[in-house]
Amino acid sequence: MFAGLYWGRPDWQGGFLLSDDSRQWEIYRDGNQLIMENGAVIERELEWIRAWFQSGYSHYHVFKMLKTDDYAVN
């Protein structure tokens, strides 16, 4: 359960994944494409961020994982 809360993701997030920062500058090359291909997911993420901010809960990702209905399997 701990691992899922910290490293899991909701199913609606789909392929919108931020790369591991061990890739350093390669992340920036992929950034524009990631944003252009995931506008709807980014909008949904913004809705979640607003809800989290209003909730007063201290950890965003854990808040999102506890409130989501379905989780990505892979």
Per-residue pLDDT of 19-29, as tens digits, reads 777 878 877 77
Q: What's this model's pTM, rounded to 2 decimal places? A: 0.76
Residue 51 and residue 29: Cα distance in Å, rounded? 31
Q: How many CA atoms lie within 13 A of 3 on its CB side?
A: 0
pLDDT cut 70: percent of the chain above it: 99
Residue 17 and residue 4: Cα distance in Å, rounded? 15
